[in-house]
Amino acid sequence: MSRHRMPSRHRAALVAATAIAGFGLAAAAQAETLTIGLAAEATSMDPHFHNLTPNNQIAQHIFDNLINQDEAQRLVPALATEWAPIDDLTWEFKLREGVAFHDGTPFSADDIVCTFERAPNVPNSPSGYGTYIRGKTVEKVDDYTIHIKTENPYPLMATDVSTIPIISAAHCDATTEDYNSGAATFGTGPYKFVQYTPGDRIVLERNDDYWGDIPEFEEVVLRPITSDPSRVAALLAGDVDMINIVPTADLETLESRSEVALHTGVSNRVIYMHIDHWREQSPHLTAKDGSAIDNPLRDQRVRLAISKAIDREAIRDRVMEGQSIPAGQLLPEGFFGVSPNLEAEAYDPDGAKALLAEAGYPDGFRMVAHGPNDRYTNDARILEAIAQMLTRVGIETSIDTMTNSVFFSRASSGAEGEPEFSFILVGWGAGSGEASSPLRSLLATHDPDAGMGASNRGRYSNPEMDAILMEALGTVDDARRDQLLAEATELAIGDLGIIPIHYQVNTWATRAGLTYVPRTDEWTLAMTVTGE
């Protein structure tokens, strides 16, 4: 489409106009359209309907949160300018004054009250915001001050609040359909809603009255192009200016082309092996002759042997085309609650064999490893490589991969409500940007009543770790909590509660001359795209 090739011509015209008029033109005032090809489509324009990356990244354009997360998921002021606990059970938020919604209504504390009422109660929502709002009571102190109260000390208040898009109280009763049609889609964000054609495009227009940095591009068109080769081709053909999730197989070709620029950054997603810790005999583990054996994975030495047998650097170089960082814990360095003492386990096949012999398996055993084949970057190929590496030290491993809709159902509750597999490849992206999220879901003792260990598909349980984690979850002091989370991580990783493989690295591609700051949460945001 010629429209998408226009920017350079347009810019030339602008530069000429500027020169003639003799005044400086801020980059922010460029009249350009930015077209982005996205790998996954948002399912709704309702910011509270489906808490899912493709939806959240669209909502972030139109709506602000009280607190936003920057590209490294650090908390930055948005509609709240200041926040702090004023006693053990109350957090005070000072709200930004002089902000207006896109329909002109001014922003005030009433909008927060309305958002907290609506967000957890959207009808038919497949995954809403109850998780972040439950147990919190919002009180309006004055128009620009609110208090959020909890029943117990709650250190993650700011993190939780940073996930919730703020809507206007004028549209508190609006339905999901009203948001999809645009009738209620008024936020305070850097872009205004223009058009939503499901399956085809979302069109946004710059909010020139935005309280923060005015984005560079006047119009943004977001197009879902789910097929990987088509998305790359659309960029090469100049039909889109930018794509996300560049397939690793195409990186080499794209790197060699001068009309394309690549933007690469580590994500908050760790790829790891989850291990059956609780069954005396595990369904997919047998002796080499096929006879039943007691679950060898319950022996810490066997788990360590597996970790040592995995050559993470080889996986990075040969499977991931360099798009991964070998992992030694739950989140890459720089995140809150990460331990400075943990490194990725070094490749040591001889050490692995010695450990297996010491644990009473000198000849190894037989195992089936399971995983998804369409969920994470190169997931099935990673599992294949791991199976070969384990077979080399004597653990004869075959693999069984499946589409993710089948995999997660079976891996979570396939065996009469209990996890079905013995040894699985999974990934975890810490949406909260700190270590309590994976610790609580993956490694805390599985306890539905307490809401702990919801994704603990290996049923790892260490009461000592649980106790430290619980203490951390009740500690408001940041420095102390950081230390407690690191301690809990060290315990769980020392036990090999899970075996971390790598942190996923993501790549965005743009036409040459554009810059994008990669985000750890894998979001694609038009407002942080800048020209030369």
Q: Which residues bind other proteins (CB under 8 A)?
A: 1, 37, 41, 43-44, 46, 49-52, 122-128, 130-132, 176-177, 180, 197-201, 223-227, 229-230, 233-234, 236-239, 374, 403-406, 408-410, 412-413, 428-429, 431-432, 437, 441, 448, 451-452, 454-455
Q: How far is the CB of 381 from other proteins (least distance, A)?
A: 20
DSSP letter, residue 121: G
Q: Tell me whether residue 38 or residue 385 sits nearer to other proteins (CB atom).
A: 38
**272 Cβ contact list (under 8 Å, min separation 6):** 327, 425, 426, 427, 428, 498, 499, 500, 501
Q: How far is the CB of 407 from other proteins (least distance, A)?
A: 8
Rounded to 5 degrees, what are φ and ψ at 87? Answer: -150, -175
Q: Tell me whether residue 239 or residue 396 sits nearer to other proteins (CB atom).
A: 239
Dist CA 59 CA 191 (whole Å): 10
Dist CA 302 CA 295 (whole Å): 10
Q: Tell me whether residue 9 or residue 318 sits nearer to other proteins (CB atom).
A: 9
For 11, the enclosing helix (H) or strand (E) is: helix 2-21
Q: How far is the CB of 437 from other proteins (least distance, A)?
A: 6
3 burial level (CB within 10 Å; 0-12, 13-18, 19+): exposed
Largest CA distance in the chain: 85
Q: How far is the CB of 359 from other proteins (least distance, A)?
A: 33
Q: How far is the CB of 354 from other proteins (least distance, A)?
A: 37
3 state SS of 2: helix
Q: Tell me whether residue 100 or residue 454 sits nearer to other proteins (CB atom).
A: 454
- Residues present in the chain in total: 532
Q: Tell me whether residue 30 or residue 53 sits nearer to other proteins (CB atom).
A: 53
Q: Tell me whether residue 121 or residue 281 sits nearer to other proteins (CB atom).
A: 121
Q: Tell me whether residue 106 or residue 130 sits nearer to other proteins (CB atom).
A: 130
CA-based R_g, the chain, Å:
25
Q: How far is the CB of 131 from other proteins (least distance, A)?
A: 5
Dist CA 149 CA 154 (whole Å): 9
First-to-last C-alpha distance (Å) of the chain: 23
Dist CA 458 CA 422 (whole Å): 8
Q: Tell me whether residue 4 or residue 74 sits nearer to other proteins (CB atom).
A: 4
CB atoms within 10 A of CB 514: 21
Tokens of 413: 């509750």
Q: How far is the CB of 240 from other proteins (least distance, A)?
A: 8
Q: Tell me whether residue 397 or residue 455 sits nearer to other proteins (CB atom).
A: 455
What would the 3-class secondary structure string for 481-522 be?
HHHHHHHHHHHHHHCCCEEEEEEEEEEEEEECCCEECCCCCC
Cα 350 to chain centroid, rounded: 36
Q: Tell me whether residue 230 or residue 281 sits nearer to other proteins (CB atom).
A: 230
Q: How far is the CB of 528 from other proteins (least distance, A)?
A: 23
Q: Secondary structure of the chain: what % helix, strand, coil (to 5)?
A: 35, 25, 40
**123 Cβ contact list (under 8 Å, min separation 6):** 175, 176
Q: How far is the CB of 104 from other proteins (least distance, A)?
A: 28
Q: How far is the CB of 52 from other proteins (least distance, A)?
A: 6
